[in-house]
Structure 1
């Protein structure tokens, strides 16, 4: 606690010795000294006036141009309807039917690949109640553009409607809109980048709100080929989305949940291995899928180099690590020296909702709120990873004891969590 206080108030503490020295020097002045000082001021009134005006103008310019605080008013995560839940058994049945009815048919290779997918699913960390879009529940599956649009529309409108209802904000009051999508977009990106873009826009457009929408779309991305690295994506990605309302309006500070402290964006796409760690492409048979590199979880941790790792537990009370997969969470937990409690929100989000891409960090923050763990002054570090390779960070500080908003996605199942994840 002492370390945190010294870090937070370091600038104020630096000026303390100067103020003490001035006070001590002033206490030594005699009446004669003060009288001489007064006469000197009278003689240099013009210079003093010019100095004062310059000081006032400089301070005014600073106040007008300093970065405006950015607040998180509230956020909401999309909870799909129950009929879109898909157990491992149901997913495997659909995949088997699709493959056997296609050009692959019944073969030893097909059975081998089905066993491979089953093992991946069993070890993925995903539970039995994740969601897949309506088109993938059908037999034969419907992977049309119409189906993709329907999935995106339901996710976005569901999350945004809940957010506007909870905040009481009218759409006409929102001056900035930032939307990032995953594979249903030629340039997929991470949710924290969208937050950073909104933050920059809020420095230009004063006294307004910014709506950030992060979503995933998987209707057209069920891979049915024979490439094992592409089959892995079928075992991870699920339906999900989040809507986040940001504000730079000073009076909103009394009702908002968090203040944005830092955003950091890192992109290592100049390295070929980073650039190709997650790519959508055709396999050798012309079937489109997403290839995930095996070294994706280790992108920032070279085992041959001993890195200095700060104790991040002193700087943050909560961690929201992108629920990209079990291996990724394992690696970050180990390399950042975190405890099981610190990654609980990430593991439970992966279990309950799967990898919802850029929105996963918001399901994790919703979990922390639902558990009643977010206290005034707590700092949260959101870590989002994306193709390219991108690693983006966002730091929030709670301005009050935060309670879960209405229609929190965890409210129906919170009593079940945390659950034990089988190894």
Structure 2
């Protein structure tokens, strides 16, 4: 059955190529049989229809000119960099346990005090898919933890500046050539903004287009890329710097509400800086070209809007609440996003199979299942947001993926935890570090976040991509993948 489907895909995909060979052969045979009189007749026809030929040529030339002037400018990903925290910020499960016990000894008011809440916390942590080398900020390693504005600024500056410094060192781009800056951080949005902080640090030019995206959750990284893409269609010959991060110092929950405790188990320090360009001269040195961005927002539905929400618990402590509806909401939102993305990336063979199944179900047998398109026919690498083990499991099952397809997501979750909007960049870096990204390969980044949103970005590799200098996987990729027993 697999061989039959493989043959079907080959025939449909190469349908025109397969017909082109006999067609060219037929033309060649006809051309070779032309005699001197036939050639004279053709030349006579062209001479007496010179006006028609001139008009057709002019229309063709004008149409081509309009196409080249109005077509979207290519957006290139020159390079990107992921923050690798210092070794002293690594935390094991045992270290987390020890810190919690020390804090409880100081004051039961500062951290989860009830034993049943602690048991729940540790059960989630053990089954989360996170390993023993994830990172937390210095503020949360302190006893008691620091949740001040100063501590939050220090954490964010460390993450953002390290990622940008490494990116600029690798690309050798002059900061004065950057015309667009977009920073996204969901939970921490001080005044002046984080984007202003970057402008000040790197002395970016005064006419820079500066944007700061807040409160948009783990999918904000793709939103920032989509915004940069639109801006690069308007502003010519420039660079866009996109920074995706999250802050833990201010957002750690210290209460007993189970729906809020979960986020403490999953989120860890991380961030990424991405340099985009619309300069044609940058194609040669860029890693990828952006093919598609698809954004889906189901926030008009109340369940979708409230399934991930920052709020106060019954004691007044602030945290992010995850409701039981999040699984069904995520599934529905992902389905809508995929339905939009599918026609853009899937080959004709998959579209035909989907259409035939849809017609059969609609008019003949309503009990048959919808055909799930084989995205591996169009996508080579999958970067599924490392939001948690359950999310990765669900997408692996629904998209019919193999363990190697979700390996970047599982490995990122294990090594770095959920780094929010930047996780998809750690996953892309993992694929590069494994030497799997070849010229022409397509990578699909898919992220989910509060609101509720599902956003996708599809890139094509412009060359065999090697990991950048100071890749976050540089010293540990050989350990992966790891086998986890739950």
Normalising by structure 1, report the TM-score. 0.90
Task: Classify 1:141/1:16 alpha carbon distance in 2 versus 1 (closer, same or farther; 3 Å).
Answer: same
Q: Residues 446 and 457 of structure 2 are in contact (CA less than 8 Å); yes or no, is this contact kept in structure 1? A: yes
Task: Classify 1:244/1:6 alpha carbon distance in 2 versus 1 (closer, same or farther; 3 Å).
Answer: farther
2:391 counterpart of 1:338: no
**Equivalence map 1:144-159=2 (5 Å):** 144-159=148-163
Structure 2: distance between partners of 1:137 and 1:399: 42
TM-superposed deviation, 1:418: 1.8
Partner residue in 2 for 1:110:
114
**Equivalence map 1:87-106=2 (5 Å):** 87-99=92-104, 101-102=106-107, 104=109
Which stretch of the first structure deviates more once superposed, 290-299 or 23-32? 23-32
2:86 counterpart of 1:56: no
Structure 2: distance between partners of 1:174 and 1:249: 12
2:296 counterpart of 1:266: yes
Partner residue in 1 for 2:87:
82
Aligned residues: 422
TM-superposed deviation, 1:21: 7.7
Partner residue in 2 for 1:196:
226
Structure 1: distance between partners of 2:116 and 2:109: 12
2:371 counterpart of 1:308: yes
TM-superposed deviation, 1:80: 0.8
Structure 1: distance between partners of 2:230 and 2:411: 32
TM-superposed deviation, 1:348: 1.1
- Runs of 5+ consecutive residues of structure 1 not aligned to the other structure: none
Task: Classify 1:209/1:77 alpha carbon distance in 2 versus 1 (closer, same or farther; 3 Å).
Answer: same
Of 252, 257, 278 in structure 1, the residue corresponding to residue 308 of structure 2 is 278
Q: Residues 103 and 111 of structure 2 are in contact (CA less than 8 Å); yes or no, is this contact kept in structure 1? A: no
Of 160, 163, 169 in structure 1, the residue corresponding to residue 173 of structure 2 is 169
Partner residue in 1 for 2:207:
none
TM-superposed deviation, 1:30: 5.8
TM-superposed deviation, 1:4: 7.5
Partner residue in 1 for 2:186:
182
Q: Residues 73 and 256 of structure 1 are in contact (CA less than 8 Å); yes or no, is this contact kept in structure 2? A: yes
Of 448, 467, 483 in structure 2, the residue corresponding to residue 404 of structure 1 is 467
Q: Residues 377 and 400 of structure 1 are in contact (CA less than 8 Å); yes or no, is this contact kept in structure 2? A: yes
Name the SS for the 1:235 alignment partner: helix
TM-superposed deviation, 1:195: 1.2
Structure 2: distance between partners of 1:182 and 1:24: 67
Q: Residues 412 and 426 of structure 2 are in contact (CA less than 8 Å); yes or no, is this contact kept in structure 1? A: yes
Partner residue in 1 for 2:478:
415
Partner residue in 1 for 2:355:
none
Structure 2: distance between partners of 1:238 and 1:305: 43
Of 234, 251, 254 in structure 2, the residue corresponding to residue 224 of structure 1 is 254
Structure 2: distance between partners of 1:62 and 1:349: 42
Which stretch of the first structure deviates more once superposed, 303-312 or 249-258? 303-312
Partner residue in 2 for 1:357:
420
Task: Classify 1:306/1:295 alpha carbon distance in 2 versus 1 (closer, same or farther; 3 Å).
Answer: farther
TM-superposed deviation, 1:347: 0.9
Structure 1: distance between partners of 2:380 and 2:111: 52
Q: Residues 392 and 409 of structure 2 are in contact (CA less than 8 Å); yes or no, is this contact kept in structure 1? A: yes
Structure 2: distance between partners of 1:312 and 1:88: 37
Q: Deviations over 1:258-303 (max 9, x none)?
A: 2222211111111111111211001111110001123424435479
Q: Deviations over 1:334-389 (max 9, x none)?
A: 22121111111111111111100000011011111111121222221111111111
Q: Deviations over 1:16-66 (max 9, x none)?
A: 898778777766766555545544544554454344333212211111111
TM-superposed deviation, 1:125: 1.0
2:135 counterpart of 1:134: no
Structure 2: distance between partners of 1:301 and 1:307: 15
Structure 2: distance between partners of 1:83 and 1:10: 58
Q: Deviations over 1:207-234 (max 9, x none)?
A: 2222111111111111111110101111
Structure 2: distance between partners of 1:277 and 1:99: 30
Normalising by structure 2, report the TM-score. 0.79
Structure 2: distance between partners of 1:98 and 1:66: 60
Structure 2: distance between partners of 1:244 and 1:95: 36
2:438 counterpart of 1:375: yes
